[in-house]
Amino acid sequence: MSGKSALVHDRGLEEYGFGDDHPFNPVRIRMTLELCEAAGLLDGYESTATEPATEEDLLTVHSLNYVRRVQQAGAGGGGLEDLVHYGIGTSDNPAVPGVHEAGARVVGAVLGACRMVMSGGADHAMCVSGGLHHALRSKASGFCFYNDAGVAIARLKQEHPGIRVAYVDTDAHHGDGVQWMFYDDPEVLTVSMHESGRYLFPGTGGVEERGRGNGRGYSVNVPLEPFTDDASWLECFDEVVPEALRSFGPDIILSQNGCDGHRLDPLTHLAATTRLYEEIPRRVHGLAHELCGGKWVATGGGGYDIQRVVPRAWTALWAVVSHDELPEKVPEAWLERWSPKSPIGLPRLMRDDPADYPAGPRAPEIKERNRRAVEEVRRSVLPLIQPR
């Protein structure tokens, strides 16, 4: 499988963040891109810059009232009590200067990547600054002010009437914002695999959330037990995602590749290794070639072990997107640059050593519970997807 790939990025995208003390720190993007470069994975590639999303773009999924509040927050406007009603000014989503402009750049980048792939300018594209999947129509949530995937999907539907878009989200947190935006739309399939909302923000994403009206069956959720490891996660993926996508018949796949399900992540309770974040993109890549001529856009998402996990996970993602081989070792030049800035020792191998992450004593029980969730999805959700 081969094809032309595009890396969609510019430095302006690294302005979306909330300070060094906030978990969502854009330094992880800088570390990722420099690791890709040091590993030789950017040879022959130039980053593709895009235009910020317009207000018209944002209004495809966000209310005008809300956009005005984000603009107000970014401009240092008063009325913080009013902004909190819109999820702005909280510890998760602080009212930082320029947040509207920074968020619009991220949305524009993902939208630009999708347009590039749909026009044939590239078969695959990656934009790791994207993946802000929690933003709701009129509320900021979970570090997300604007929903890049939501806007991109809505615009694609306007520009390509009848298009079918598959959104596949493997962030540790449920892809709630994207799901709710298209909950009654049979032309958008949303698939989210995440830590069960019984234990983790945003508290949603149960199997019973399967869409409504004409969209019933087109929201597919696989809630995973805490401490789910690579083997169980991939088993669940293989039992659900290929069948869902084959039944749906997408024209393009948009994937969210949050890597906060890693065992070292400080905000979640899953037990993946970096190998998962190579294997899932491989599977999505194969499905894109099988089902929609290779049309695939990959975004980033969550990931809060900034130094040890995120750069390696998203470098592995780019290696898959660009049809390249991931080197065995982390390049010395990258280690020399970033080790002095890291509060913790950096790994020297690009892939986690499985011996460092042995299965826990509850692994069989966790696997069985996940299998039961998958059986319920296969019984009560997948049959509702109407073949194209």
Which tokens belong to 200? 């983790």
Q: Is the pLDDT of residue 383 over 90?
A: yes
Catalytic residue numbers read: 134
Q: What pLDDT is stored for residue 33 in this prediction?
A: 98
> 347: helix, coil or strand?
coil
Domain, as residue range, for 177: 28-46+106-384
The total of structural domains in the chain comes to: 1
Residue type, 168: V
pLDDT digits (tens, 9 = 90+) for 167-211: 999 999 999 999 999 999 999 999 999 999 999 999 999 999 999
Confidence band, pLDDT 50/70/90 cuts, at residue 82: confident
pLDDT tens digits, one per residue of 311-349: 999 999 999 999 999 999 999 999 999 999 999 999 999
The answer to the question of residue 158 being in a domain is: yes
Task: Give the mean pLDDT of 368-386.
Answer: 98
Residue 284 lies in a domain: yes
Which pLDDT does position 3 carry in this prediction? 67
pLDDT tens by residue, 209-257: 999 999 999 999 999 999 999 999 999 999 999 999 999 999 999 999 9
Contacts of 141 (CB under 8 A, 6+ apart): 87, 92, 93, 134, 135, 176, 177, 202
Least confident of 30-34, 75-79, 373-377: 75-79
Instruction: Please give the sequence-ordered ranges of beta strands (E in DSSP) within the chain, or none if there are none.
Output: 5-7, 124-127, 165-169, 188-195, 219-224, 252-256, 296-299
> Rounded distance, CA 120 to CA 130, Å?
21
Question: Is 61 inside a domain boundary?
Answer: no
Average pLDDT over residues 42-50: 93
Cα–Cα distance between 221 and 208 in angstroms, integer? Answer: 8
CATH number of the domain within which 199 lies? 3.40.800.20
Domain assignment present for 300: yes
CA distance 15 to 12: 6
For residue 204, how far is the Cα from the chain centroid? 17
pLDDT, residue 1, reads: 42
Within a domain: residue 54?
Answer: no
pLDDT digits (tens, 9 = 90+) for 248-262: 999 999 999 999 999
pLDDT class of 79 with cuts at 50, 70, 90: low
What's the rounded mean pLDDT across residues 273-294? 98
Report yes or no on 115 lying in a domain: yes
Res 35: pLDDT: 98
In a domain, 57, yes or no: no
The answer as to whether 240 is a domain residue is: yes
